[in-house]
Structure formats: structure tokens, C-alpha cells
Amino acid sequence: MTRPAVLVTNDDGVRAPGLAALARALERDLGAEVTVVAPDREQSGASHAMTIRSPLRFERVAESWYSVEGTPTDCVNLAIFHLLDERPALVVSGINAGYNLGEDVTYSGTVAGALEARILGIASLAVSSAPDASAEDLDAVAAIAARVAAEVLARGLPADSLLNVNVPPAPRGIRLTHQGRRAFREGLIERRDPKGREYYWIGLAPSEWEPDDGADHAAIAERYVSVTPLHSDMTCHRAIPVLSAWGLERLVPGSSR
């Protein structure tokens, strides 16, 4: 059997313990030929940002390990178009220190790394753990990620889809879920610096989820692994019949198709 080529990236940076745990498990459990290409520093919240106004540089830090002065999206592009000899069979992004649930997937650099791979035509998954996962927890999360990755390699994924996998400590099982929704989030956290000036932290205020048994957050709350298929096509297909009834053609008269 030939060893599948697997690219691993993350948004927590090249030194994050979750990245090493994931690479190890994919090598050990899948016999994968793993190449790690990750940001040189933390890029959490970078979402799908791409570096287009400055040069992109990288450094080889070990055999098949590269550190990139850029975002997860930059890493995937640099890997696929420059660093790797062959297109990988799979891209795995993670293990993020902290779950990526509900609308958080839109801010997540971890999910964006997997999304970029999908857009480039490669099967992919994003993997996230509890924010306070220990080294042992991370090894367990990585082993579960490797099992899911093996399924993806064996079966492929439906067109335009990628998987968002969240793994709690000591899971009771695994659930196929959909993306949840936040019901409520406090705005900003306000503090004062030593000079008495106000400053703000965004994204750290407490939040609540809309109750939804099938959602990703419900699975995590009940200590199940959550596997959510995401879509690289952001079209809202449900809105097309509604908008079609608006008669938008009136706004810009011209010949119709």
C-alpha cells in the first residue's frame, strides 16, 4: 500500500502542541507521509485571510516541517503550489486549542485552512479540542481525528464539503451534527490600562447557544465528538426562490438572458 500524502496545518502556530500530536497520529495510525506547513505565530481568528500585499516567506524547521510568515490559507497555498512534490490526498487542520462551534467557524483560521484545501480540490477536515486539553487529551483527540481522516481517505467527501470535527475530553461517542447558532453574546469586555485608558477585548464575552439538539454545541455539551459537514459554496439556496419573486430585473433594465 502506498502511503497517503497528508498536509497538516493549523492556526495556533508551528509550535502548538496540538499540531505535533495531530501529525504524529496521522503518521502512526494512517501510515501517512505527513508534511507540516504552519504559521510561524498564532493566527487564531485570522479566518480565511490571505497575504497579498507583502511577500510570503517560509523556513524549514525540521524534516517535512515548515514555518510560514503567514496565515493558514497562505500555508495551504505555499504547500500545494511549492513545497509538496505531489498534491496531498488530504489536508488536516488543527488540533485547535478551543472548539470551533456555530458561527465561530466563520472566524476560525483552523477551519479556513481546511476550507482553502477544499477550494483547491483536496479533501479536508478541521479538528478542534477543548481549550484546556492536556497533552494526553491531545493524543486522544488526534487518534480520533486519524480515524475520521481514514474514513475520508477511503470514501472521499461529497463535492464542495469539508468536515469540522470537535472532540471533547473522554468522549461518550460521536455524532453527525449541523452548525449551531448563538442566541446571545455580550458585546465587548472593557478594561482599563495602567494609565487609566479604556481598552476592549472582543470575542471573549460569555455567550449562549440557541437550544438545538442536533447542533455541534449540543454534542459537545453532552461530551460527544461533533462532526459537521461544511460547504465551500456560500450560496443560500433557500433564498433564491424568495429573491426571485422580488423581480430584481426591474432595477437594472436590459435584455434578460
Range 8-37, binding Mn ion (CB under 5 A)? 11-12
Site for Mn ion in 73-112 (CB under 5 A): 96
Shortest Å, Cβ 46 to Mn ion: 9
What is the total count of residues that contact Mn ion (CB under 5 A)? 4
Q: How far is the CB of 78 from Mn ion (least distance, A)?
A: 19
Taking the least distance from each CB to Mn ion, the nearer of 131 and 206 is: 131
Asked whether the beta carbons of 20 and 140 are under 8 A apart, the reply is no
Nearest to 93 by CA among 147, 18, 172, 151: 18
- Cβ(148)–Cβ(227) under 8 Å? yes
Q: Minimum CB separation from Mn ion for residue 110, in Å?
A: 6
Q: Which amino acid is at 234?
A: M
- Complete DSSP assignment for 209-248: EPP-TTBHHHHHHTT-EEEEEEES----TTHHHHHHTT-G
Among 44, 164, 177, 228, binds Mn ion (CB under 5 A): 44
Judged by beta carbon, residue 30 or residue 111, the one nearer Mn ion is 111
In this structure, which amino acid lies at residue 44?
Answer: S
Given the rule CB under 5 A, which of 4-12, 170-178, 199-207, 221-229 is the region that contacts Mn ion?
4-12
Given the rule CB under 5 A, which of 41-49, 152-160, 200-208, 244-252 is the region that contacts Mn ion?
41-49
**How far apart are CB 213 and Mn ion at their closest, in Å?**
27
* Residue placing its CB nearer to Mn ion in the complex, 77 or 96: 96
What's the closest the beta carbon of residue 97 comes to Mn ion, in angstroms? 6
Give whole-number Cα distances, 239 to 75, 105, 181, 206, 236, in Å: 34, 21, 18, 31, 6
CB of 44 to Mn ion, least distance (A): 3
Residue 45 DSSP symbol = T
Rounded to an integer, what distance in angstroms lies between the CA atom of residue 239 and that of residue 87?
Answer: 36
CA dist 57 to 42, 135, 217, 222, 241, Å?
A: 16, 30, 37, 43, 46
- What is the phi/psi pair of residue 158, to 5°? -55, 155
Binding track, positions 205-234, relative to Mn ion; x by CB under 5 A? ------------------------------
Q: Which is nearer to Mn ion, 13 or 169 (CB)?
A: 13
Q: How many CB atoms lie within 10 A of CB 14?
A: 23
Residues at the interface with Mn ion (CB under 5 A) = 11-12, 44, 96
